[in-house]
Amino acid sequence: MAVEVKDRDLISIQEARNLVELAAAAQDYFATLDQAAVNRAVTAVSLATEAQAERLARLANEETGFGRWPDKVIKNLFASREVYKYIKDLKTVGIIGEDPGQRIFEVGVPVGLVTALIPSTNPTSTTIFKALIALKAGCAVIFSPHPSAKKCILETVAIIRKALEDQKLPADLVSVLSMPTKEGTDTLMRHPKMNLILATGGKAMVQAAYSSGTPAIGVGPGNGPAYIEKSADIALAVKRIFDSKTFDNGTICASEQSIVTETSIRKLVMEEIGRQGGYFLPPGDSERVEKILMGPAGTMNPQLVGRTAERIAQMAGVTIPPGTRILLGQETRVGQKYPYSREKLMPVLGFYVEDNWEKACLKCIEILSVEGAGHTMTIHSKNQAVIREFGLKKPVSRLIVNAPAALAAIGAASALPPSLTLGCGAIGHNSTSDNVGPLNLINIRRVAYGLKELEDLRPSPAEADPSSPRMTTEQSDPAFDELVRRVMERLSQV
């Protein structure tokens, strides 16, 4: 008599194993196709997901409760349309580069099978993005969705699979774990046929990816300060920070998490913040909000992520003025115990004031050293010397200048490569500092013709003699030789 298996973890593990086998077979076939066929697949997926951008945005907002669906439409269009425009002409399979003079050419080789972990904050847009870059690289991808965003992610994958089928391509090039559990995801990541993990999510998820034994591209937390320097256009700086921090209620990890400014412009900055809908919480109310920003485990409170300032204030039991867009807590302290100095994917900012730009520079580094090292920060300034100093010294992979961080860091409002996976480099314990794209999902095979024989590499008798001059007569410079003679002559007289 057959025994019905009701354990979710066992079902999830078996589903993961089945998906890997199907995806591996689909990728084996896909790897035989040329660049034109790969491009057709990418175009089809781009068009299909672009057409469903609004519906998927509404689904994501309804299921998770995070953010604002109109902003999620923009993110879906960014992933389906703008990312496509950037990657469509890239050479990723077959011969992708050649140097006839040096007799070498390069071949793009897909890494193969990819596991993609998807967060609940940007579920549909990240799924679209990762599907496009994986397909462009000639890979197959299996998604492991955050359980709280499973329905909208499954629907996104269904749209993608239909687009592939319409192109007479295997739908199993893109698949999804329909019963996501920790055990099922771990099975995907550790499967012998898995070639790479694309991890976007919380710290624990990214650490699990890196410790799986499978090569991984993970991204760390954001905690970017926004520095308003005294030469900045203060009104425009505040506008850009608010545009970024309120976009989808702050769910993009590159969004600003604190403001740092200077004593000389403190009053002007605070007044402008008030004019644009920011509210500085009085000390008692600031403490009430601070207490709920992090959960019992010391991580971000999921009940506040992507909520409005009004909702956060209600949950904290404080009253705020009508029309408040962002809550600000005035702070001097930095550390794990001080939530205003940490990542807050919601319209809440810490506010710091320092005497000058040098001290502000150090404060930004201090904030990043607690959380967010290697990710992103912003400077608003007209002083090119200060901007360059920040560029030289800040431990980030993206320094955004005079722009809304959330949109500029992902490449929507800057010339950075468009991406929804932002690497933090070695300082952020990541394998790359790139805005991740298709070229991160291929290996490059270099085919090099010989240019020399062994005898060409042997030194001549004169070169092999340590006492022989390194510069031949033909290479010597008489003027330089005369200068050397005079210097040596003077030294002998000292």
- CA dist 383 and 239 (Å) reads 19
List beta partners, residue 141: 114, 174
Residue 437 sits at φ, ψ, to 5 deg, of -150, -170
Query: What's the Cα-to-Cα distance from 451 to each of 101, 445, 457, rounded to whole Å?
Result: 10, 18, 11
User: Which amino acid is residue 103, in one-letter code?
Assistant: R
- CA dist 422 and 397 (Å) reads 9
HSE-CB of 351 using CA atoms within 13 angstroms: 23
Contacts of 296 (CB under 8 A, 6+ apart): none
CB of 360 closer than 8 Å to CB of 353 = no
In the annotation, is 253 catalytic?
yes
What angle in degrees, to the nearest 10, is found between the helix axes of 182-190 and 203-210? 30
- CA dist 202 and 256 (Å) reads 18
- CA dist 79 and 159 (Å) reads 14
SS3 (DSSP) at 283:
helix
The one catalytic residue in 139, 253, 364, 424 is 253
Burial of 451 from C-beta contacts in 10 A (0-12 / 13-18 / 19+): exposed
Q: CB 36: neighbour CB atoms within 10 A?
A: 9
Query: What's the Cα-to-Cα distance from 129 to each of 105, 116, 124, 387, 434, rounded to whole Å?
Result: 29, 11, 9, 31, 15
The token duo for 294 is 């992090």
- CA dist 96 and 92 (Å) reads 6
- The three-state DSSP-derived secondary structure of 187-229 is HHHHCCCCCEEEECCCHHHHHHHHCCCCCEEECCCCCCEEEEC
User: Which amino acid is residue 489, in one-letter code?
Assistant: E
- DSSP secondary structure letters along 445-464: EEEE-----HHHHSPPHHHH
Catalytic residues: 253
